[in-house]
Amino acid sequence: MTNEPILIVDDNPMNLKLEKRLLEVEGYQVLTARNADETLRLLERFQPKLILMDFQLPGMDGLELTKKVRENPGSKNAVILMVTSYDQQGDEARAKAAGCDGYLTKPLDTKVLPSVIAEYLRMGNGTGQSGKFS
């Protein structure tokens, strides 16, 4: 599944750089955004197949942003994976309720991330209702 479009949303520049590089090496077309405003502007012209969404963002958090992404006709079917370093009890259920298809905790395993992304892309058709959380 090379050249699949992926959007990474994270306010940490180091996370963005690392995740982008890991996925570009695998052949994905990767764009990044640091907050909700950047994300929503990008989605006006970019239709990702998968979005890695940070839970904690400045301003609008990843849960609220996921709901907005699901309302956007161009991105409503993207697979959305919530990524968090906090992993509090109930966060996974809240992510699923917001429309996420998966839930990953930081630090991300750089050896496994590309295969996780490939598996979710293979499953396709993000709706937040897949029930497959990792």
Interval 31-80: pLDDT, tens:
999 999 999 999 999 999 999 999 999 999 999 999 999 999 889 999 99
The answer to whether domain 5-123 has CATH 3.40.50.2300 is yes
Amino acid 130: pLDDT: 43
pLDDT more than 90, % of the chain:
77
Which sequence spans correspond to the domains of the chain?
Answer: 5-123
Of the candidates 23, 35, 30, the one whose C-alpha atom is nearest the C-alpha of residue 7 is: 30
Give the DSSP H or E segment for 114. Answer: helix 113-123
DSSP string for 13-60: HHHHHHHHHHHHHTT-EEEEESSHHHHHHHTTT---SEEEEES--SSS
Amino acid 88: pLDDT: 78
Give the C-alpha separation, 1 to 65, whole Å. Answer: 26
**Residue 99: what residue type?**
G
pLDDT at position 90 over 90:
no
